[in-house]
Amino acid sequence: MLVSESNLNYELQDVYIFECGTFYFFDTFIISEIKEGVSFDWEMAQEIITIAESYYGLNQKVAYISNKVNSFSLVPEDWPHFFKARDSVSAIAIVLYDRKERSNVLLERLFFKSKIKKFFDLEEAVKWARNEQLKYDNRRTTA
């Protein structure tokens, strides 16, 4: 399900459209919809990270949801950069619509450890991301 076809539109705060895909900014999470066939690389990610840091603040972590409505890949040589940047998010969810994509999630988990969770429904991923963000915010305020 595309974000534009979901019930999330009333909560949407901002949308950024790039050559590589569309990024939807909400209060505590971002949803990406990368275009078909894109090889998503670190340069593309940096552009999104810069906008997110400007939007949410440098020290604020947010949850990230990859809504894989299209087939795309992450450039393998850039995995170390993605691994280092993982601390800028509170949680990562991947919404899959093609069961063949499961093996890619296993590879991604090698880099992102327990922070990554797969879903087959966008709304379930959003519920989980909100809950994870709330847990993160609670840990921050009690620390």
pLDDT in tens, 12-37: 999 999 999 999 999 999 999 999 99
Separation in Å, CA 118 to CA 4, 9, 125, 135, 143 = 21, 22, 8, 18, 29
Compute the chain's Rg from CA coordinates: 14
Largest CA distance in the chain: 43
pTM: 0.87
Q: Residue 101: which domain range? A: 3-142
Separation in Å, CA 63 to CA 28, 92, 103, 127, 132 = 6, 6, 22, 11, 8
Q: What is the mean pLDDT of each run of 10 residues along the chain (143 residues)?
A: 93 96 96 96 90 90 93 77 69 85 55 72 96 86 72
Q: Which residues pair with 74 in a beta bridge?
A: 40
How many domains is the chain partitioned into structurally?
Answer: 1
Q: Measured between alpha carbons, how far is 129 from 137 in angstroms, rounded to an integer?
A: 12
CATH number at residue 25: 3.30.750.24
Q: Which amino acid is at 138?
A: N
Q: Measured between alpha carbons, how far is 79 from 61 in angstroms, rounded to an integer?
A: 20
The token pair at 22 is: 């569309």
